[in-house]
């Protein structure tokens, strides 16, 4: 035996992956009565021109902007020195 089961990785049995649909439905049912209050709070935050409320609104309305990173590598310097 090669001992792979002793490597310390985690199993996906019951601890990983998407939550069951029933849990999602229960959460939606809990939050639905609070929806009018959430819209009122969002409206008040937007009226105050609080940046976090504006950012939250546009993140849900238009989606988060795609994050990009510019990486430049200089060929002049070696990465590994012997």
Q: Is residue 3 part of a domain?
A: no
**Residues 57-78, mean pLDDT to the nearest whole number:** 79
Q: How many domains does the chain have?
A: 1
Q: Is residue 26 part of a domain?
A: yes
Q: Which helix (H) or strand (E) holds 53?
A: helix 51-61
Query: 51: domain range?
Result: 19-61
pLDDT digit string, tens, across residues 12-21: 665 667 778 8
Q: Is residue 69 part of a domain?
A: no
Q: Is residue 24 part of a domain?
A: yes
Integer Cα distance of 43 and 53 in angstroms: 8
Q: Is residue 40 part of a domain?
A: yes
CA dihedral 14, 15, 20, 25 (to 10 degrees): 140
Q: Is residue 55 part of a domain?
A: yes
Q: What percent of the chain has pLDDT over 90?
A: 17
State the number of CA atoms in the 13 A half-sphere of 66 facing the CB: 1
């Amino acid at each position: 035996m090669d001992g792979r089961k002793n490597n310390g990785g985690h199993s996906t049995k019951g601890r990983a992956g998407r939550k069951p649909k029933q849990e999602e439905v229960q959460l939606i049912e809990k939050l639905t009565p609070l929806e009018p209050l959430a819209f009122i709070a969002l409206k008040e935050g937007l009226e105050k021109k609080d940046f976090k409320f504006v950012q939250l609104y546009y993140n849900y309305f238009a989606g988060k902007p795609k994050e990009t990173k510019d990486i430049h590598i200089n060929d002049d310097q070696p990465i590994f020195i012997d």
